[in-house]
């Protein structure tokens, strides 16, 4: 047991612990060296203040640029060990995070983007919530969305309303992937068997003591986001179908509503024919009815299909990613590599 002192001067009795920084990289060559320098400085601070042993795990998610070459050359420092995991192709961010989690050892895990948008300076605060205040999941959320369009904000709000509908454990709105998980929360996350991963949701679902930290994301250090509108919609469908059955319920509700409408319409037609003695002009109402029912049915089949697709991919139980290359660098003399 060693005594660590946090910046406010309080002493915390903490055994020496490890913190693994998982950083997914997809075409991040331009800012990588700078990020590594910032992480080295951070690791030194964390070691001094909290006696934390830090290790960064760079996961190269099949980048097309020099990301891997640069990552291979990043040096370990006394306070910071380095692992580089290179995936065999681009598997997507969630898979890259999963790979990082798999290569992390026993200890806490921090997920952070490799584009400099997640400020390393904030990490100290997250660590403080974990070690000093005893929280298990410290997640960050955008303080505001003022710089985003109205349409995007509305879509985001709708998405969370839908995914959290009737859920026991709500996924916090605006929470990002920048989060710290204590050793026991990490262990819990590792136990989840599903292949279709939606980390935001899973990290919230496991429970434990969670706390939110608001922050202002920095502008991207270089390049452009790899999540365009189409990819975000894909991720939302992925999240929705792996987390909630709300779309299926809505489908059922819509079915009931339509059937009810059709029933009332039928009654009114009977009324007009029998009581008022009018002959009912059939063609327009027929077409409208057919198109409505046809459209709604196709939509519902699509929704059900999403779930069936999910079942299929879980059933195939394929590995989530393949590793093409892995190397470890430690500053200590018993350096390992592989």
Q: Applying CB under 6 A, which residues contact ligand UDP?
A: 24-26, 28, 61, 90, 92-93, 96, 113-115, 117, 225-227
Minimum CB–partner distance for residue 83 and Mg ion (Å): 22
Minimum CB–partner distance for residue 225 and Mg ion (Å): 5
- In 67-119, where does DSSP find H-type helix? 67-72, 93-103
Which residues lie closer than 8 Å to 250 by C-beta, 6 or more apart? none
Minimum CB–partner distance for residue 14 and ligand UDP (Å): 30
Which residues lie closer than 8 Å to 66 by C-beta, 6 or more apart? 29
- Of residues 242-301, those binding Mg ion (CB under 5 A): none
Minimum CB–partner distance for residue 286 and ligand UDP (Å): 48
Which residues lie closer than 8 Å to 208 by C-beta, 6 or more apart? 136, 137, 182, 184, 185, 188
For ligand UDP, give the closer residue by CB, 81 or 115: 115
Is residue 117 a contact residue for Mg ion (CB under 5 A)?
yes
Is residue 226 a contact residue for Mg ion (CB under 5 A)?
no
For ligand UDP, give the closer residue by CB, 17 or 27: 27
Query: Residues in the chain, how many?
Result: 338
Stretch that binds Mg ion, among 17-25, 74-82, 115-123, 161-169 (CB under 5 A): 115-123
For ligand UDP, give the closer residue by CB, 38 or 51: 38
For ligand UDP, give the closer residue by CB, 92 or 120: 92
Minimum CB–partner distance for residue 111 and ligand UDP (Å): 10
User: Which one of residues 28, 94, 115, 238 is an interface residue with Mg ion (CB under 5 A)?
Assistant: 115
**Cα separation of 140 and 123, whole Å?**
10
Minimum CB–partner distance for residue 90 and ligand UDP (Å): 5
Residues at the site binding Mg ion, with contacts judged by CB under 5 A: 113, 115, 117
């Amino acid at each position: 047991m060693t005594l660590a002192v946090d910046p406010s001067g309080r002493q915390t009795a903490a055994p020496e612990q490890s913190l693994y920084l998982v950083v997914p990289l997809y075409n991040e060559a331009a800012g990588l060296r700078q990020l590594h320098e910032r992480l080295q400085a951070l690791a030194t601070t964390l070691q001094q203040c909290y006696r934390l042993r830090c290790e960064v795990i760079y996961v190269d998610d099949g980048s097309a640029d020099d990301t891997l070459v640069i990552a291979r050359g990043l040096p370990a420092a006394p306070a910071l060990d380095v692992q580089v995991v290179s995936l065999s192709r681009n598997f997507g961010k969630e898979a890259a995070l999963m790979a990082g989690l798999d290569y992390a050892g026993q200890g806490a895990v921090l997920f952070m983007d490799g584009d400099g948008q997640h400020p390393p300076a904030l990490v100290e605060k997250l660590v403080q919530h974990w070690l000093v205040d005893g929280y298990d999941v410290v997640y960050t959320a955008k303080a505001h969305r003022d710089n985003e369009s109205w349409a995007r904000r509305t879509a985001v709000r709708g998405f969370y309303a839908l995914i959290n509908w009737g859920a026991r454990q709500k996924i916090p709105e605006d929470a990002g992937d920048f989060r710290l998980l204590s050793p026991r929360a990490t262990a819990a996350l590792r136990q989840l068997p599903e292949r279709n991963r939606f980390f935001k949701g899973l990290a919230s679902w496991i429970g434990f003591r969670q706390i939110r930290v608001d922050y202002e994301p920095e502008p991207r250090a270089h390049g452009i986001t790899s999540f365009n509108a189409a990819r975000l919609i894909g991720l939302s469908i992925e999240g929705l179908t792996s987390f909630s059955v709300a779309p299926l319920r809505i489908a059922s509700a819509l079915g009931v509503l339509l059937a009810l409408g059709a029933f009332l319409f039928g009654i009114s037609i009977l009324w007009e024919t029998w009581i008022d003695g009018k002959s009912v002009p059939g063609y327009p109402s027929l077409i409208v009815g057919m198109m409505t029912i046809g459209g709604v049915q196709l939509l519902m089949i699509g929704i059900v299909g999403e779930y069936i697709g999910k079942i299929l991919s879980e059933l195939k139980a394929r590995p989530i990613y393949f590793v093409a290359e892995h190397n470890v660098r430690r500053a200590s003399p018993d350096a390992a590599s592989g």
